[in-house]
Structure 1
């Protein structure tokens, strides 16, 4: 009896761990941070902040990430690329149809929240921007496009969670656009794309078997690790560049406080790039760097020194 209870607790713990890994809670920062950064820039330039609009947009962003995660699991199950992926929601539930409809429900909820913003402001521009991002997000894994299988996922990620996401958040507060916003979005877009880039290192064999030409499949893990180091460094280089040109205030250099996290990411991937089990957590280290660098940059933009 004691052994049975222990086994039940052990199985329950494994199930919880699997579900947490499948749901990917840290990944939801890629919705929270761009929306927050776009709102910070809007506040910095206008001095006004509508909390109701911000809250509705944040809700829609979280629901869109849920839709992307679930629908991507569905689309990947159709190609067989996730056959060995224990953290696929489709594999855990064994019910692809249910996962598909839950994902669509999340998307419908996001559109409803965005519609509320449009109705409150009598301006539907923000919905157009977000629907554009959703369409590009669909092309990443969704048929007939599946552009992620051609190695274009990082470009899509950059556009969706950089310029488009920040512009939509900014527009929801100001009903306008800003060149300063686009400058900032380059840094957020690159740091977001690093998360996706890191997710490829541990699944090269599965990608090859499914015909997916991810950047790491094309480059190899060693070259990929060097490319990661270069793009990580570019975030700090661009910050200095935008500061020298006068786009960023001097306080934006607070982003350099995230250097330890950047070093941890680069060193980890450089060391374990060809060891799938050890490098598999690199995407979570990338999320950590993404959060720290974005938070310090956002703080610097608010201080304005």
Structure 2
């Protein structure tokens, strides 16, 4: 394990008040992984019932808070374990570059969890208290992803955990709070989003493969090797598009769902961006393109679902 690298300078008022510092801490490129599933779940519910807008907005805010808190916890524990340093690529860098105290970041993350919990109480009051259990599990996974004695991020199950909880579960909760039920259609439509959210995690692990290996991680990318991980990423993209096409032509999802095919060039860009690259900085555009694929795919799917109601 690398020795911890202390912040190069103390926190100043300028740093504390700098919006860009806090914006980077939340890792905004990952927040669409929370926004897109809420939008899709709500769009699916729109086909069956009128939408409770305040409930939608509160669900959206709660998910964004949980995702942001998870990112902060990641920042904290990666620093404490000596993984992050000033030259690290793809991190918020608020500790090692901006001098924010690690304990402050952890407390801020817990504050976000607390606020999300309060929002969750409102959601439960307007749907079902069973969601309190589901929400608690989601926050626990957010913490245990990089926290605790056996972080999920250090195992081959990071993609599965992120995809399942940030993709499938959020879609189903968003659908349930509007309709009071979960249908086979909502489950089937959520699967490609689950895959694409997991792909964001996979792209991150492909980028960080060498550093993760040095620090004892056993991610999926490490276990199967970089080349196979890139092929698996491409397979995830292909599966997501084929699955959606099948759903559209079998009548499970609206034909307008085929709008997602417009995002294929971004998926191709993401895959090609990893080929032949070995330095993390070289793979940043590919990782960004992977996240953008999920965002564009999700928005197009939502638009297609809404259009099917009116056309």
User: CA, structure 1 residues 118+87, in 2 after alignment: closer, same or farther (shift >3 Å)?
Assistant: closer
Does residue 136 of the first structure (1) align with residue 141 of the second (2)? yes
Following the alignment from structure 1 to structure 2, what is the Cα–Cα distance between the partners of residues 154 and 268?
20
Q: Describe how 1:108-127 pairs up with structure 2 within 5 A.
A: 108-119=114-125, 121=126, 123-127=128-132
Counterpart for residue 75 of structure 1: 77
- Say if 1:161 and 1:122 are closer, same or farther in 2 by CA, change over 3 A: closer
Partner of 2:99: 93
Query: 2:203: which partner in 1?
Result: 198
Q: Could you tell me which of 13, 34, 44 is aligned with 2:47?
A: 44
TM-score normalised by the chain length of structure 2: 0.86
Cα deviation code 1:200-256 (max 9, x no counterpart): 223223212221112222222222111111111111111122223321122111111
After TM superposition, the structure 1 stretch with the greater mean CA deviation from structure 2, 218-227 or 88-97, is 88-97
CA root-mean-square deviation:
2.1
1:232 to 2:232 alignment: no
Q: Which digits, 9 at most, give the CA deviation of each residue in 1:65-116, with x for residues without a partner?
A: 1110001111222322223536333323351111110100000001111112
Report deviation, 1:192. Answer: 0.9
**Residue 7 of structure 1 aligns with which residue?**
none
1:276 aligns with 2:266: no
Q: Larger relative CO (CA 8 A, sep 6+): 1 or 2? A: 2
Deviations 1:186-205 (A, max 9, x none): 01111111111111223223
Say if 1:242 and 1:248, in contact at 8 Å, map to a contact too.
yes
Work out the CA distance in 2 between the residues paired with 1:129 and 1:38.
16
The answer on whether the counterparts of 1:33 and 1:294 sit within 8 Å (CA) in structure 2 is: yes
Contact 2:37/2:168 (8 A) holds in 1: no
Show structure 1 runs of 5+ residues with no match: 1-10
Contact 1:81/1:209 (<8 A) preserved: no
Shift of 1:167: 1.2
* Contact 2:38–2:174 (Cα < 8 Å) also in 1: yes
Aligned to 1:131, what secondary structure does the other structure show? helix
Match of 1:264 among 255, 265, 269: 269
> Kindly tell me: are residues 18 and 282 of structure 1, through their superposed partners in 2, closer, same or farther at Cα, counting changes over 3 Å?
farther
Bigger fraction of residues in helix = 1
Provide closer, same or farther for how the CA distance between residues 95 and 205 of structure 1 changes in structure 2, counting only shifts above 3 A: same
- Worse-superposed segment, 280-289 or 160-169: 280-289
Contact 1:79 1:210 (C-alpha < 8 Å) held by counterparts: no
Q: What count of residue pairs does the alignment treat as equivalent?
A: 290
Give the TM-score normalised by the residue count of structure 1. 0.88
Stretches of structure 2 that go unaligned for 5 or more consecutive residues are: 1-13
